[in-house]
Amino acid sequence: MTERKPLNSVLIKPAGADCNMACEYCFYIEKGELYPKRKVHRMKTEVLEELVRQVMRSGEPMVSFNWQGGEPTLMGLDFYKKAVAFEEKYGLSGQSVGNGFQTNGMLINEEWCKFLSEYKFLVGLSLDGPQHVHDRYRQDRAGRPTWERIMKAAKLMGEYDVACNILAVVNDYSVKFAKETYSFLVEEAFPPGHQEKFLQFIPIVETDLVSGGAASFSVSGEAFGKFLCEIFDCWLADFQDGWPTVSVRFFDTVFHSYVGMDSPECTAMKECGCYVVVEHNGDIYSCDFFVEPRWKLGSLLEGNLAEMLNSPRQQEFGRIKATLPEPCRNCPWVKICRGGCTKDRVRDPEDKGLSHFCASYKMFFEHSDGHFRELAEKWGKNH
């Protein structure tokens, strides 16, 4: 019997695929075509309230709302004030709630910072690296560079003590500048003296709609493997008293497997489908990388989120990840990577069902294994 999954986390697209930037590698902007009747997509108050009500009344002691896009700031600040008010209205005694917020930073100002700081939103700021790296693909809708505006937002959030992580996409260009990117993000993307520095490097592979192969901005497995190894060496060099001073999400995920803990990231789980995606109109999907008719689970306004999360369709989606190709089953690293993210197996036909980053993982694990073993042994002695 399949264990019932708790409704403790949802990923929300309150403005759908709408965005005030036009990044060349964006995978989500095309999802606006699913809702062609309106050019502007915004979540209505009744959808927001029902979403919050169902999650808060799920009975889970800890729940999280993850606001993404498109660009979630397009909803305006009043929308999130309503969200917080609904969380307070429907919250149960002793229940804790967290809000994650992924933004490009274009609209972040002092008013936003005050709110995000007051209600302890965890912000993921998209910043690919130094100016020449970031502006390579991240332009606004008029084709203008955005780096200076994003750096201004990062500085402002630092001044207001907003909890902020940096999300950097790794593409065919940025992959060439691992050390420069790491140094820049650690030294300049966070306020001076800031102790908690969290980085996430997201390798990109998307399908070219003309050729059917990997899009030109995609990063190759070998190149990303070298990138990871260089970032790892930089990360090690920043250790103090034998412990990391910088958190890199992928390294944290890998470390969990070395100490026998469950992965905190769905890409390294045996099965996925542990959360659902809520589109602006209340449509529910299996994953934000698979917002498509096949994986539509239902409507928030007509059904129950917990039931959709545990539906046969969502279970089917989760099992796709667990069905590994033969090379994975015999790989010594499979218990760490679990075959990678499902979407990375289907974007490029030349991968033949393997993760596009299979070579990356092998290169990285061979490079880092000894260090992780030593760190795990030291961690075990202290826990």
Could you give the residue numbers annotated as active site? 288
Number of H helices, E strands in the chain: 13, 10
CA 212, chain centre distance (Å): 25
- Contacts of 281-287 with CB under 8 Å at 24 or more apart are 281/35, 281/41, 281/43, 281/44, 281/47, 282/43, 282/47, 282/50, 282/51, 284/308, 286/313, 286/314, 286/317, 287/317, 287/342, 287/343
Two tokens at 133?
Answer: 């790296």
Q: Evaluate whether 254 touches 368 at the Cβ level (below 8 Å).
A: yes
Distance CA 262, CA 335 (A): 11
Which amino acid is present at 45? T
Gyration radius of the chain's alpha carbons: 20
Judged by DSSP in three states, 18 sits in: coil
Distance CA 301, CA 64 (A): 20
Nearest to 317 by CA among 295, 293, 299, 340: 295
Q: Where are the beta strands (DSSP E) in the chain?
A: 9-12, 62-67, 96-103, 122-126, 164-170, 197-203, 246-248, 276-278, 283-285, 296-299
Rounded (10°) angle between helices 249-258 and 221-237: 80
Distance CA 77, CA 19 (A): 16
Distance CA 328, CA 172 (A): 25
Q: Evaluate whether 297 touches 308 at the Cβ level (below 8 Å).
A: yes
CA 11, chain centre distance (Å): 10
